Amino acid sequence: MSEAPATRARAAIVREANAPVVVEDIELDAPGPGEVRVRVLATGVCHTDLHACMGNFGAEFPYYLGHEATGIVEAHGPDVTTPALGTTVVINWRAACGDCRFCAAGRANFCARPLVAGPRMRTLDGRPLGRVLGVGSFGTHTIVHARQAVPIAAELPPEATCLIGCGVVTGVGAVLYAAAVRPGSTVAVFGCGAVGISVIQGARLAGASRIIAVDLAPKKLDWALKFGATDVVDAREGEPSKKIRALTGTGVDYAFEAIGLPDTLNQAMWSCDLGGTCVLIGVPVPGAKLSFPGTKFFYSRATLKATFYGDCLATRDFPLLAGWYRDKRLDLDSLVTARVGLSDGEIADAFKAMERGEALRTVILMG
Ligand code: CXF
Ligand code: ZN
């Protein structure tokens, strides 16, 4: 049997840490066993892509950027039958293997061996491409494990559903699964980017009675109110935990940190009522040290936990979130603050807007 030929795609690549993003042709082998090739329709620009450009996730350069995407399955590896060709899918960057010690114990959100495709993509000068979170989606095509491709209703707009694949499931999942917010409880959210806004939406869906949004940027606080925050605290106007205590009388039941800074983690912790739960979602930069007074923590009897991907199970939660979007219970459309094409300049601008705090999500549309 003759081998399937390699194909070409356009992709946004970063060749070394802090180098500019370049859009160029790349080569893709045919998908291997267990894998599919996906034609990307839309992909969101997440902070993690910026961290990858800086080399914060190790030096797998050159990197194929992107990990939050909707596309269409267009080729199967040898043994693959599902998802069927033509199926619209959202890419899952953490597909549970099903048989590691965590999956076997029913804790697949901790899967120790998440499924990814083999190294099938390379630059035209032959360098294998690292992929952000095992995906690579700032491009026309990618190859992923078939179980990273989660079917979703084809009629929903890809520019909205792609956001489910990282930012939205991370924030909503942190509320529903990592914290398990109870109806009527009080919530504070530190950092009102796309993930923080998704925490706000999750808290609203969970029936929180008070949702206090904290940020330095007035624009983000305006967005927070639009998405369901009941109160906002401008962190430029003094220590936010004091204001949160003044607003609630006691502190909140749950505080979420969606930035990844030691200071904001402390503020979030000391915003909690006795026995409260503080959830760290923001990714600390390499070398960051978290510290807090031990006796204060002890007497607070607080829970501090970290989560990523909202402790979700994509096969359960992507269709759930897509259904809430379809039913207008979850607003994805307003999270899209810019739409761009696949070009170096537009992607560079998207990163700049993100760094300046002017964007919730920029979505790259493959056209
Ligand atoms: C990720 C980044 C890598 C560690 C887990 C969380 N966030 C998604 O973009
Ligand atoms: Zn992400």
CA of 134 to the centre of ligand 2 (A): 12
Pairing relation of β-strands 361-365 and 35-44? antiparallel
Q: How far out from the chain centre does Cα 337 lie?
A: 16
Check pLDDT > 60 for residue 78: yes
Check pLDDT > 80 for residue 2: no
| CA-proximal residue: ligand 1, atom 7 (nearest) | 48
Among the listed residues 256, 227, 260, the one whose alpha carbon sits nearest the alpha carbon of residue 244: 256
Name the residue ranges covered by the structural domains of the chain: 7-151+332-365, 171-308
Give the mean model confidence (pLDDT) for residues 101-105. 98
Q: Counting atoms of ligand 1 from 1, which one is nearest the CA of 133?
A: 3
H helix or E strand, kind and range, residue 159: helix 158-161
CA of 138 to the centre of ligand 2 (A): 12
State the residue for tokens 């029913």. Answer: 106
Which phi and psi (to 5°) does residue 342 adopt?
A: -85, 80
Largest CA distance in the chain: 73
Residues with CB under 6 A from ligand 1: 46, 48, 166, 283, 308
State the residue for tokens 């109110």. Answer: 225
H helix or E strand, kind and range, residue 26: strand 22-28
Give the mean model confidence (pLDDT) for residues 334-338. 98
Give the mean model confidence (pLDDT) for residues 35-55. 97
What 3-state DSSP class applies to 242?
A: helix
Q: Name the band, by pLDDT with cuts 50, 70 and 90, for residue 3.
A: low
CA of 68 to the centre of ligand 2 (A): 6
Q: Counting atoms of ligand 1 from 1, which one is nearest the CA of 48?
A: 9
| CA-proximal residue: ligand 1, atom 8 (nearest) | 48
In this structure, how many other beta carbons lie within 10 angstroms of the beta carbon of residue 289?
6
* Predicted local confidence at residue 367, as pLDDT: 84
Q: Counting atoms of ligand 1 from 1, which one is nearest the CA of 49?
A: 9
Structural class in CATH, domain 171-308: alpha beta
* Predicted local confidence at residue 1, as pLDDT: 46
* Predicted local confidence at residue 4, as pLDDT: 76
Contact 65, 99 (CB under 8 A): no
Check pLDDT > 80 for residue 59: no
Question: Superfamily for 7-151+332-365?
Answer: Medium-chain alcohol dehydrogenases, catalytic domain (3.90.180.10)
* Residue range 270-294, pLDDT digits in tens: 999 999 999 999 999 989 999 999 9
Q: Under 8 Å CB-to-CB from 246, ≥6 apart: which residues?
A: none
Q: Name the band, by pLDDT with cuts 50, 70 and 90, for residue 57.
A: confident
Average model confidence (pLDDT) across the chain: 97
Q: pTM of this prediction? A: 0.97
Choose the weakest-confidence range: 5-14, 55-64, 209-218, 263-272. 55-64
CA of 44 to the centre of ligand 1 (A): 14
CA of 197 to the centre of ligand 1 (A): 17
